[in-house]
Structure 1
Amino acid sequence: MHLHCIGIGEDKLYTLARALRECGYVVSGSGEDISAAQKSEMEEEGWPVTGETPSAGQIHTGLEGVITGAHVKPDHPELLKAADLEIKIYSVPEFLYEFARYKTRVVIGGDSGRAAIASVILHVLEYHNREVDHVISGEPEHTAHLTKDNDFILLTGNDLPSSETDKTPEFHWYRPNIALLSGMGAETETEEHFRIFVDRIVKGGIAVYNEEDEKLKTIVETSENPIRKHPYGRPEYEEENGAIILDTPEGPMPLELPDELALHHLAGAKWICQHMGVDEDDFYEAIAAYGM
């Protein structure tokens, strides 16, 4: 499958493009904001890439799709030509949904902590030799790994527009089978975005949510979507000589955590890992070897 990425200099799209190439896709790209490091990597690996001046030179009928970066303007020459040739144009979230349509989609949403929670989950799965697809957006970097065979895919998502040409909130595209909501902002529009996200969880799916966020709790608990709802909050702990001692079924566990918020991340990640087949004891075994 040959895909063309417009605005490939955007870190999120560049990371996705790399993962798609490693998965066996033919990927070309263009962009005015390609960094020197990205350009060097692409040249070394033989990517067909153009940059600097927007043109329609790489758009042709042999393409099976075009993926546009979040900041590419609607009047970009390549977008216009793709539309003229009736080539399917995807935002990054829309493409990821199509890629993962037949996988179990696990989506970490919320106004903060998405990448941190996903990092915990990936560590636990890797510790127990369980491979999973993932596309994680966050600081200090974006990461992605895609395969044609893995059953699960882990995604992070927010309620920002998917692109300049697709105003759908990013996480509305994903239609998760399993979702985690860590919290939400105070904007009225944000509340509506989260309400729609919960309603778009696959029927019979699972919503794990921070019950200490009252507005979020109300949204999840009043949703009429037939899903399972699992609240979580800050776990029990004590402080001793500056260290956090977590109360677990296996007994007290000392952890080096940056702040109390990290405890919430652990609690949410534990629920998600259990729904992905890792039991509680195995979760804590992995966490004992994890530094946040």
Structure 2
Amino acid sequence: MSQVIHFISIGGSAMHNLALTLHQQGYTISGSDDEIYDPSRTRLLQHGLLPPKTGWFPEKITTDLNAVIVGMHASKDNPELVKAQELGLPIYSYPEFMYLQSQHKQRVVIAGSHGKTTITAMILHVLKYHNRKFDFLAGEQIDGFETMAQLTPDAPVIILEGDEYPSSPIDSRPKFLHYQPHIALISGIAWDHVNIYPTWDEYVDAFESLAEAMPKAGILIFDESDDMLDIIGQKDRTDITKIPYLPHPATTVEGKTILLTKKGAKVPVQVFGQYNLKNISGAMTVCDRIGITEEQFYEAIPTFRNVSMRLEKVAESSQRILFRDFAHSPVKVEATTEAVKHQYPNWKLVAVVELSTFSSLNKAFLEQYRGTLDMADQGIVYISKNASDVNSEAITADYVLAAFGKPGLLVFNKADDLLAHLIQQRDVASVFLLMSSGNFDGLDLNMLADQLI
């Protein structure tokens, strides 16, 4: 008889992917949510897992369930969660459940403030290229993979993208602490999520806890150029192996990035920027530890394409290019802007960042953006109309101008005005870079691409 598992908040990105992979393994799955959007909605519908009605239904929670998995979208007083607690059912966050299902596997966790999705995607791409058996959990949909999660009985290794967000409404521990990795990579530490970590020290503590929780004989891989990580990497633990990495040596030929190998070979890749060269080094170091040789890595990496929204080329002509990127935190905005400018040094770059998250709209945090758009020929900040919902503090244009400290910076708070301005720049600019974890209040990217390109 199959295991019966109920998902509270089944529409979540990781949650619905975990539900799908368990369904494929023969589990009986049910779920609830008060809102389910695409792509979750369509995927759940295709597999017969879409709840017939949105909302919470305590009557779904019975002693017939083997387990309940609760997502962060649910609240502590969620009626289904309360019922599960009253019945004494096993309740797990999804990272807890992933760990339970992978105790017999070699666990590799990719963590860090930035780059973790790309590094995870690179490792998965290389493993798939060489037909290796592996399980995984990724934070975004990855090219060539049907789902963002996979759990099978016989894969010897699992690659887990681990984030520092709380595990569930009843478990405030960072998700990555549940995985107990044999191999952990930390790609960089830059203060973020100030609603969860109000101070820099509290944020760093989460990553220190991950390093300290490594089992004996574990392997900690870290970006040597990150000052904070270098400190963590030098901490006195003689029972684990610590491996620092630096950006992979490379050159640029006619706008294309070429990796330079130790043996003198030249390997073209489809990504660019210093931080992607770091991502390649990190991914390569992990692959080396799980049985992929350098030669095998170099054979596979040229066909790797960037994850959606990671320096994604929306449109291109011989004269203009439009990029979009998930960058929203200061370190990501700066690294992405620099990468594009270095790749196209003689082209005029218009870089736009949207402030829409709790952190980016926090007055105490906004100073962290100082200098992040300096490499752009024209810098633009867009303040989301959801700003008042995200943070009660009024972020004015004057405050943004003072915080960023970039001469000539423009500030918009209406999508139509931003669109009109970008189209006006068509004849004077060549590279347009839109950075946001949101959507610029519904800015029509296709229309923008048609007008610009």
Question: Are 2:136 and 1:131 equivalent residues in the alignment?
Answer: no
Offset of residue 201 of structure 1: 1.5
* Counterpart selection for 1:28 from 23, 27, 30: 30
Match of 2:104 in 1: 102
1:172 aligns with 177
Matches within 5 A, 1:18-97: 18-35=20-37, 38-39=40-41, 41-47=43-49, 49-97=51-99
Note if contact 2:41-2:50 (Cα within 8 Å) is conserved in structure 1.
no
Partner residue of 1:219? Answer: 232
Output the amino acid matched with 1:60: T
Q: Which residue in the other structure is 1:210 paired with?
A: 223
Amino acid aligned to 2:176: F
Which whole-Å deviations, capped at 9, do the CAs of 1:126-164 have from their partners, x for residues lacking one?
Answer: 111102100101368971111011110110011111122
Please name the residue that 2:208 is paired with.
195
User: How far apart are the structure 2 equivalents of 1:207 and 1:15?
Assistant: 28
1:77–1:145 CA distance, 2 compared to 1 (3 A): same
- Tell me if 1:232 matches 2:245: yes
Tell me what 1:273 maps to: 287
Tell me, in whole angstroms, the C-alpha distance in 2 between the residues paired with 1:178 and 1:2.
31
Task: State whether structure 2 residue 186 is matched by structure 1 residue 181.
Answer: yes
Structure 2 partner of 1:256: 270
Say whether 1:146 aligns with 2:159: no
> Match of 2:274, as an amino acid?
E
Q: Deviations over 1:9-68 (max 9, x none)?
A: 112201110011112211110111123764554455333735423220111111111000
Distance 1:37 1:171 in 2: 25
Deviates more, 1:269-278 or 1:241-250: 241-250
Q: Which moved more, 1:77-86 or 1:184-193?
A: 184-193
Q: Deviations over 1:221-264 (max 9, x none)?
A: 21426211111011222222222222113412233323221111
Please tell me whether residue 245 in structure 1 is matched to residue 258 in structure 2: yes
Moved more, 177-186 or 240-249: 240-249
The answer to whether the 8 Å contact 2:221/2:245 transfers is: yes
Bigger relative contact order, structure 1 or 2 (CA pairs below 8 A, ≥6 apart): 1
Instruction: Check the 8 A contact 1:8/1:14 in 2, yes or no.
Output: yes
1:81 is paired with a residue of what secondary structure?
Answer: helix
> Partner of 2:438 in structure 1?
none
Say which SS state the counterpart of residue 285 (structure 2) adopts: helix
1: distance between equivalents of 2:80 and 2:289? 42
Letter in 2 for 1:234: P
CA distance 1:224–1:240, change in 2 (3 Å): same
Give the 3 Å change call, closer, same or farther, for CA 108–214 of structure 1 in structure 2.
same
Query: Per the alignment, in what secondary structure is the counterpart of residue 251 of structure 2?
Result: strand
Give the Cα–Cα distance (whole angstroms) in 2 for the partners of residues 83 and 230 of structure 1: 43
Amino acid at match of 1:289: T
Max radius of gyration: which structure? 2
Matched AA of 1:239: T
SS at match of 1:147: coil
- Give the distance between the partners of 1:239 and 1:92, measured in 2 at CA: 42
- Partner letter of residue 219 of structure 1? I
Helix, strand or coil for the counterpart of 1:204? coil
- Count of aligned pairs between the two proteins: 292
The farther-off stretch of 96-105 and 262-271 is 96-105
Seq. identity, %:
35
Counterpart Cα distance in 2 of 1:244 and 1:63: 52
Cα drift, residue 291 of structure 1: 3.4
TM-score by length of 1: 0.94
The answer to whether the Cα contact below 8 Å between 2:174 and 2:206 also exists between their aligned partners in 1 is yes
Distance 2:39 2:223 in 1: 39
- RMSD (Å) for aligned C-alpha atoms: 1.9
Give the aligned partner of residue 6 of structure 1.
8
- Asked if structure 2 preserves the Cα contact closer than 8 Å seen for 1:29 and 1:50, the reply is no
SS at match of 1:168: strand
Measured in 1, the distance between the counterparts of 2:288 and 2:95 equals: 26
- The AA in structure 1 aligned to 2:170 is T
Aligned equivalents of 1:40, 1:123: Cα separation in 2: 25
Q: 1:19 to 1:275 in 2, by over 3 A?
A: same
Aligned partners of 1:195 and 1:220 also within 8 Å: no
Q: Secondary structure at the match of 1:196?
A: helix
Amino acid at match of 2:285: W
Partner SS state of residue 288, structure 1: helix
Task: Give SS of 1:207's match.
Answer: strand
Whether the aligned pair in 2 keeps the contact of 1:115 and 1:139 (CA below 8 Å) is no
Three-state SS of the structure 1 residue aligned to 2:55 is: coil
Q: CA deviation at 1:277?
A: 0.3
Counterpart Cα distance in 2 of 1:179 and 1:12: 20
Contact between 1:93 and 1:170, CA under 8 Å: does it hold in 2? Answer: yes
